[in-house]
Amino acid sequence: MEKASQDRREKNASYQPEIHVRNANSREIFKNNRLTSQFLRNYTNIPLLSNVMPEDIEDVSEKYQAFLGVEFESDTIKKVYIRKADGIIEREVYVLSLIEHKSDIDYDVAMQLLRYMCVIWQEYKATQNKIQEGSSRRKNFRYPLIIPIVYYEGKWKWTADLNLKDRIEFSEEMEKYIPDFTYQVVSVRQYTNEELSKKHDEMSLVMLINKIQTEEDLSEFRKGSEEMVESVY
């Protein structure tokens, strides 16, 4: 958190950080590369992302939202640079190609994610063919990795199917003809307040605040969060 936020807090004794952050649209969280890197390292459990830092992340959302229209304007797409131990960039992958911010369960999210993935791959193909004509038709051509993730803030357990094929008829009988992928759900309620408090970073504070939906949630937050809020600020 920046010094300006701290100064404002000191000047206003009634300043309540949980209300302030809740008022900020949660869709803005992943436009911040610092928060995004903390989220990728500490909450996705994907080894490829275990060392991602803010400077390794590039926001490319606008490029793809132009293809998909206003329905997708709130979504965030990141290109992440994976580095070797010596700091040299090894590859560029869309390891956080799309992150959905959901406060309610969306049973059609797998199909929504597929639309994004197709647009990203089509644009990548077009770009590579401009660099070297016909490159996508070659045997060794590969499309970039895409890991779709749902960041879920809702109170109830996520019950939507995690596989695309489960949204398509005859998925069992005709499985080999149906494209499929799995998306990951990271729910703020899969962590206890104590587990989040132990992380002591900005993203854990944001997730603690995103859990607040009732008076009881607010009471629980205030019981154990003072020390953490102080350390993060």
What would the pLDDT profile of 166-221 be if each residue is shown by its tens digit? Answer: 999 999 999 999 999 999 999 988 998 888 888 878 898 888 888 887 888 888 88
Interior CA angle at 187 toward 154 and 113, to 5°?
90
Nearest Cα residue to 148 out of 159, 136, 164: 164
Please state the pTM of the whole predicted model. Answer: 0.78
Cβ neighbourhood burial of 129 (10 Å; 0-12, 13-18, 19+): middle
β-bridge partners, 59: 78
Hey, how many other C-beta atoms are within 10 angstroms of the C-beta on 98?
Answer: 27
104-158 pLDDT, tens digit each:
788 988 998 898 899 899 999 999 999 999 999 999 999 999 989 988 888 888 9
Q: How far apart are CA 83 and CA 70, in angstroms?
A: 34
Would the CA dihedral through 134, 137, 138, 140 be positive or negative? positive
In this prediction, residue 161 has a pLDDT band, given cuts at 50, 70 and 90, of very high
pLDDT at 11: 44
More confident residue, 179 or 75: 179
